[in-house]
Structure 1
């Protein structure tokens, strides 16, 4: 069994067919109404990317293990900078960030550029994740708003 398959099995990760990657709810377990926050494991391998998506609430991304992840962040209007490419990893001496605060309303997509690799991350939200506040990015709309990131937006979205 490959290391990626073993992690998926041991953490009981489920395929995220909408966005890409795998996930597992870690808090609250079991799900409860009016929880103050939510948390998941999020796992990527290089067979798929995490396509551009956003939620309305703030997110804390945590990097646990694996190869660096290239994250594209397209911030809401008025934010400075307008966009950012973040290398998400534990390789701090090489500029990696093991935790990233992502403001609500930010479009985010990510991918692993190393061949035959994977990354295990976590995402925490307060207030908790609500599927009604989750949106997938449209390639043409995002390119029109953030033309400077056209190449990465194209790589991290489904064709229109």
Structure 2
């Protein structure tokens, strides 16, 4: 229960709130500078959040209209699964590469790609604390939570993973 205590302390200390895709978050930065996107939309140049998954939490399949850079901060490694335009799956393991073989400190998810994330089970700590930086800046109006049936129709080879990490089923 030490890990639960640490996760609870971090949620309170960082003032994290439940996120619609799963886990907990808090926006920590929103650029005062605006940029005009190629489609004409105006956005903050960049935004950043703290993001935490604990226990069996997962980040459900979703996509946003901007690139998102994930940064590992603390806890157990986390796998970020990205469905590519050619129907394949790319998985980035975020963690401390000195302690977790094959892990990296940061990974990027391209704009408009479907992705999800889940903790790598570990006996030591039951949380993963990350940061996410989005450029141009994140807006909830550009957040889309996936429907599992629609994703499976487009990515049938990934059906098991899609169903396991989905919240919306038709």
TM-score (norm 1): 0.87
For residue 99 of structure 1, what is the aligned residue in structure 2? 106
Aligned pairs, how many? 154
CA positional deviation for 1:132 = 1.6
CA positional deviation for 1:73 = 0.6
* DSSP-derived class of the 1:152 partner: helix
- Inter-partner Cα distance in structure 2 for 1:47 and 1:134: 23
Q: 1:52 aligns with which of 29, 52, 61?
A: 61
Coordinate RMSD, CA, aligned: 2.0
CA positional deviation for 1:125 = 1.1
CA positional deviation for 1:33 = 7.5
For residue 123 of structure 1, what is the aligned residue in structure 2? 132
For residue 5 of structure 2, what is the aligned residue in structure 1? 2
For residue 90 of structure 2, what is the aligned residue in structure 1? 84
Deviations 1:110-149 (A, max 9, x none): 1114266100001111110011211011111111111221
Q: 2:160 aligns with which of 119, 128, 151?
A: 151
For residue 23 of structure 1, what is the aligned residue in structure 2? 25
Structure 2: gaps (5+ residues)? 35-43
- Inter-partner Cα distance in structure 1 for 2:162 and 2:97: 25
2:11 matches 1:14: no
TM-score (norm 2): 0.82
Q: Does structure 2 conserve the Cα–Cα contact (< 8 Å) formed by 1:72 and 1:152?
A: no
- Inter-partner Cα distance in structure 2 for 1:32 and 1:50: 28
2:110 matches 1:108: no
